[in-house]
Amino acid sequence: MKFSQELRQAVDASWNASFEHPFVQGIADGTLPLVKFRHYLLNDAYYLAQFARVQALGAAKATDLSDSNRMAAHVQGTYNAELSLHENFAKRLGISEAEKAAFEPSPTAYAYTSHMLRVANAGHLGDIVAVILPCYWLYYEIGERLQGVTSSEPIYQEWINAYGGEWFRELVQEQIDRLDTIAEQVTAADRERMKKHFIISSHYEYKFWDMAYKLEAWPIYE
């Protein structure tokens, strides 16, 4: 069995919980209150900025020029594809640049990105691909499941369309293939560590929906 398949099996329950989360279901049927999607977007803008840094560390740590080149291209992909989607939504939801700049990430967004940055700083390219892969792959599977669904909220429909396309499938497959290639070249201990990164990122993907749905914030002490 390919390493990627072993990892996919290990997170099956966690990913099913993401598919069934009321945030995702609310996107599909259009009933998700926009205030919750707004909270998601603000946290996701922070998340994506950190995600790009993690991908860039992958480019820096690659030992092969072709991997450096592709990881750097993926940084640009995050900027172009993800942030343009965001800018479009932010405008429509009345999120200003000032609000974005002043926004402090919620505990889960902070913890998830801290997890990725810790792994990226300490690890090699294999650790980095393992820690970022659930972001690609889970969103692809959500996009796939929601194909054919017509959400009554146009913003949610655009979000669904963005993750169902062919361009996205190719990006995901490229990272899955990179994971499998590296997995064949490293030790069993390396693979075990990579698997843990993948599982923890999957937990955080679930918690990210929950964070947005519950409008999670830091405690206020008075």
Ligand X SMILES: Cc1ncc(C[n+]2csc(CCO)c2C)c(N)n1
The residues annotated as belonging to the active site are 135, 205
Q: Does 135 bind ligand X (CB under 6 A)?
A: yes
Q: Pattern of binders to ligand X over 65-104, x per CB under 6 A?
A: ------------xx--xx----------------------
CA distance 39 to 204: 16
CA distance 204 to 209: 9
Q: Pattern of binders to ligand X over 48-67, x per CB under 6 A?
A: x--x----------------
Burial of 209 (C-beta count, 10 Å sphere; 0-12/13-18/19+): buried
Q: Does 194 bind ligand X (CB under 6 A)?
A: no
Piece of the chain touching ligand X by CB under 6 A; list 2-10, 46-54, 90-98, 120-128: 46-54
Q: Which is nearer to ligand X, 45 or 194 (CB)?
A: 45
Q: Judge contact between 67 and 178, C-beta under 8 A.
A: yes
Q: Which is nearer to ligand X, 31 or 84 (CB)?
A: 84
| Distance in Å, CB of 196 to ligand X, minimum | 18
Closest CA to 209 of 12, 16, 8, 7: 16
Q: Does 18 bind ligand X (CB under 6 A)?
A: no
Distances (CA, A) of 92 to 5, 11, 37, 155, 158: 39, 35, 12, 9, 12
Name the CA radius of gyration of the chain, rounded: 17
Count the site residues for ligand X by CB under 6 A.
13
CA distance 60 to 153: 41
Question: Which residues would be at the binding site for ligand X (CB under 6 A)?
Answer: 44, 47-48, 51, 77-78, 81-82, 135-136, 139, 205, 208
